[in-house]
Amino acid sequence: MKLMDYIDERLGLTSLIRSQFIDYKVPKEINIFYTLGFIALAGFMIQAITGLFLLFYYVPHPDHAFSSVQRIMNDIPYGWLFRQVHVVGSNLMVAVVFLHLFSVFFMGSYKKPREFHWLVGAIMLFFILTFCLSGYLLPWSQLSYWATTVVANLPTGFPYIGDIIADTLRGGKSVTGLTLNRFFGLHVALLPCLMSVLIAIHIFLIRRTGISIPPWYERLEHTPPSGYRHATYPEGQPFYLFMLKELSMVMFYIAMIFFVIAFLPTLFLPEDTLVEANPSRTPEHIRPEWYFLAPYQMLKLIPSKFLGIALQLILLLVFFFWPFIDRSPERNILKRPKLLTVFIVTTFLWIILTITGGR
């Protein structure tokens, strides 16, 4: 007890915990979708921890990468567990982030004063997908090699700068050991640092403006006419209670990871991942990971490489800056039939493109 007092006198942890977890109130009306951000954060932490263990045995060299991954799977005690959690976790994390994005859009949580939250979140999504792309190559399997060849070739559709971007990404005209080194550096050094900074900014922004509430409870939130305002909810629930809800969802998320490992162990590790990369032999069916299937299929359907990529870039810009494009003060999408239609049609098209792209 004396030790606790000693620490508390110097750090003031008791008052910090009181102010952040008990006195800090969040609205009672927030639903289960509000836990998705925390699940994504927990998912990122799981990736960081399992990734660190994999790093102990992984060798980032074309001659050894594949065999080192097989060694992790077959010889290193519990290596399979760390790799499987890392692989399944990455896919589930992307799914959670997509769901988070959809719920934020649907509940209009990106609107004033939370435009920057969306922007930072969108940049994080971009980095997460870059994480996935760079990590996908590391096992140096046939699937990872050729999927990377396709994706890394996409920027070449752009005139003038396309080849420069693609060559910089690959470290040459094709996917080689240099690409492996670059992707490895990105995956384990640069991206984790950038992501950590962005997560910190995202959390800072949420704490700074206060959490939003679903638009159908808008009457509880008094929109200020102008100027900065921290959204407070004196009648709300203490944050630690909401943390319990978030924690329970994280537990279900981890249970889901183990469900996939137990019953669908090869869902994200099909047979082509068990064959070492062979640059001279193109597999029959090449396709990127499921979250890249929609843009991949879109490129297939648009009969011009440049047009396809330009269209995707425009869509990407619209996505990034959506809160600044959508200036309507109405947060409730149910009261905006046009936007609701666009939302449903876009989601439907995305699903159709993903399904057809996977065939």
Partner 1 sequence: MSKKIILLMIFMLFANSAPAKEEWKRAFEEEYLKILPVGEPEKVSVCIDCHKSEIMRPELRKIPSEWRQSWHAENNISCHDCHGGDPEDEKMAMTPERGFVGKPSHAQIPEFCGRCHKGILEHYLKSGHGIALRKTGHAPTCVTCHGSHGIKKASIDIINEDLCTRCHSYERAKTMKLALSVVETKIKDTEDALKELRREGIVIERDEKEFFRIHAEFRALFHTTDVNLVKDRTDEFTRRLKDLDSRLSAYFKELNFRRNYSVFFMLLFAGMGGAIYFIYKENKGK
Range 17-76, binding partner 1 (CB under 8 A): 28, 67, 70, 73-74
Kindly tell me which of 174 and 232 has the beta carbon lying closer to partner 1.
Answer: 174
- Cβ at position 175, least distance to partner 1 in Å: 7
Range 122-151, binding partner 1 (CB under 8 A): 146, 149-150
Residue from 262, 327, 329, 338 in contact with partner 1 (CB under 8 A):
262
Kindly tell me which of 170 and 202 has the beta carbon lying closer to partner 1.
Answer: 170
Write the binding mask 171 to 190 for partner 1: x where contact by CB under 8 A, - elsewhere.
Answer: -xxxxx--------------
Please list the alpha-helical segments (H only) found in the chain.
2-11, 13-17, 36-57, 65-74, 79-106, 115-137, 142-153, 162-170, 177-185, 191-209, 239-263, 293-301, 305-320, 322-325, 337-357
**What three-state secondary structure class fits 302?**
coil
Residue from 21, 33, 57, 80 in contact with partner 1 (CB under 8 A):
80
- Of the candidate spans 47-55, 131-139, 193-201, 246-254, the one that interacts with partner 1 by CB under 8 A turns out to be 246-254
Q: Is 241 in the site for partner 1 (CB under 8 A)?
A: yes
C-alpha–C-alpha distance, residues 355 and 119, integer Å: 28
C-alpha–C-alpha distance, residues 112 and 158, integer Å: 35
Q: Is 1 in the site for partner 1 (CB under 8 A)?
A: no
- Of the candidate spans 47-55, 104-112, 131-139, 152-160, the one that interacts with partner 1 by CB under 8 A turns out to be 152-160
For partner 1, how many residues bind (rule: CB under 8 A)?
A: 55
Whether residue 214 is preceded by a cis peptide bond, meaning omega within 30 degrees of 0, is no
Residue from 6, 56, 258, 348 in contact with partner 1 (CB under 8 A):
258
Q: Are 165 and 152 in contact (CB under 8 A)?
A: no
Q: Determine whether 105 is exposed, middle or buried from the number of CB atoms within 10 Å of its CB (0-12, 13-18, 19+).
A: buried
Beta bridge partners of residue 26, listed in sequence order: 237
Residue from 225, 227, 234, 303 in contact with partner 1 (CB under 8 A):
303
C-alpha–C-alpha distance, residues 135 and 144, integer Å: 9
Tell me which DSSP letter residue 221 carries.
Answer: S
Beta bridge partners of residue 239, listed in sequence order: none
Q: Is 353 in the site for partner 1 (CB under 8 A)?
A: no
Tell me which DSSP letter residue 283 carries.
Answer: -
- Cβ at position 15, least distance to partner 1 in Å: 22
Sign of the alpha-carbon dihedral angle for 321, 322, 325, 329: negative
Write the binding mask 263 to 282 for partner 1: x where contact by CB under 8 A, - elsewhere.
Answer: x-xx--x-x--x----xxxx
Binding interface with partner 1 (CB under 8 A)? 28, 67, 70, 73-74, 80-81, 84, 146, 149-150, 153-154, 159, 172-176, 237, 241, 244-245, 247-252, 254-255, 258-259, 261-263, 265-266, 269, 271, 274, 279-282, 286, 299-300, 303-307, 310, 314
